[in-house]
Structure 1
Amino acid sequence: MLHFIQKFSQASSKMLKYPFMVGLGASGRTETLSLKTCLQQNFSPLFLRTLPFSSFLVCMNKTQYYHTSPCSFKKKPVLPARPQKTIMYLPDSPKPALYISLAGLIPFFAPPLIMLMTETYSPVLAFTQMAYGASFLSFLGGIRWGFALPEGSPAKLDFLNLAGSIAPVVFSWLAFLISERLSEAIVTVIIGLGIALHNELFLLPHYPNWFKALRIVITLVAFLSFVITLLLKDIYPEKRPKRPGQVE
């Protein structure tokens, strides 16, 4: 072991005395740099390489040389595209379905609009609004049943689809059953509209996107019109029908 250490120290002292080969230039001359000169200039000798066409720089400044592996850069995760909101499919609705549905909103907004103009609450107008909403609930149930009947329809003839089509009809029947208490009947229709919309959007997602967007708009408009009617009952005096022979 001692003999090996002595050999190594002798070889190191010889390396300090003799120059290093830097490279072979295009002119054929050999450039030399001593180890001592490299250390004084903050350079480090690299392996001896001979290039036939250009001089190869062997000593490089430690403070100016950086190596970064391409693998050290992390790729940014590609985020999936956000799905388009259902309401944005409304312009894709067929024109006949869009125009007929918008015209079907008139019976919802006409009664509260008339009451606002006359500044009186009319139970008759409120009842017609409630009756139209209950009839609309029955219509929604019929749409679901008819959607499941054709062969090849994505909606199967199972209990989920058929029972879901019956639920709006049940709320419509309850609204007419308690129609003497008009406010409770209107609330029943509102609940039925909300449950029908929830079923069509989440539990039974087979309708086209444009139809779902149309249903959202109709339900929101109907809900707003019923809320206005309930508020007008507490704001304006009630308009009672005249009895035969009654003098104003």
Structure 2
Amino acid sequence: MQTIPRAALVLGLAGVLPFLWGALTVISDPLAMWSQGAFGARFTGPYVQLFYGAVILSFMSGVLWGFAARATGSRAAVGYALSVLPALWVFFTTGGGAEAAGTALIAGYIGLLVLDWQFWRWSLAPEWWMRLRVLLTALVVICLSVHLIV
């Protein structure tokens, strides 16, 4: 069993920081006020999570497209079709306010994990892929859930 490459793990965890920052500014009013003054409302509370979450979910479509490019025949066609689903999900579901968009992103990240598993099962993703994706997805979903329960 391969371990997650250090660079992939460190960069993946660094990618969780905007989600964590958003969650922290939701649960701490003093931190939220400081963040708004220092960075603006877009980088505070659920807004940073929703914007960044939409960007990253769309980015993951590109990652899956890269995996699909390793396939051949009908599996490649199915892979390409599946790879565009996260970006389309973001486009069609993240309007309508912070609560609806947050809920849609949570569903999108859980759906992405299913797609990750399928590409991994087809041996198109690295052996360590699912260990990384389960960890990152759990952290992202927890962070996105904060503004829905607070």
Q: Do they fold alike, i.e. is TM over 0.5?
A: yes
**Of the two structures, which has the highest relative contact order with CA contacts closer than 8 Å and spacing of 6 or more?**
2
Per the alignment, residue 128 of structure 1 pairs with 48
1:212 aligns with 2:130: yes
Give, as a single letter, the amino acid of the residue that structure 2 aligns with 1:226.
L
Which aligned segments of 4 or more residues in structure 1 are displaced greater than 6 angstroms?
A: 119-123
Unaligned residue ranges in structure 1 (runs of 5+): 1-88, 233-248
Q: Is the 8 A contact 2:24 2:31 kept in 1?
A: no
1:172 aligns with 2:79: no
Q: What TM-score results when the alignment is normalised by the length of structure 2?
A: 0.80
Q: Is the 8 A contact 2:106 2:141 kept in 1?
A: yes
Q: Deviations over 1:73-127 (max 9, x none)?
A: xxxxxxxxxxxxxxxx6x7111111111111110111011122222798975212
Q: Which is greater in Rg?
A: 1
Per the alignment, residue 109 of structure 2 pairs with 193
- Which structure shows the higher helix fraction? 2
Percent of residue pairs identical: 26
Unaligned residue ranges in structure 2 (runs of 5+): 34-40
1:186 Cα offset (Å): 0.9
RMSD: 2.3
Q: How many residues align?
A: 137
Q: What TM-score results when the alignment is normalised by the length of structure 1?
A: 0.50
Give, as a single letter, the amino acid of the residue that structure 2 aligns with 1:100.
L
Q: Is the 8 A contact 1:145 1:161 kept in 2?
A: yes
Choose from 7, 11, 24 the match for 1:113.
Answer: 24
SS at 2:66 equivalent: helix
- Which structure shows the higher strand fraction? 1
Distance 1:189-1:120 versus aligned 2 partners, 3 A rule: same
Distance 1:203-1:214 versus aligned 2 partners, 3 A rule: closer
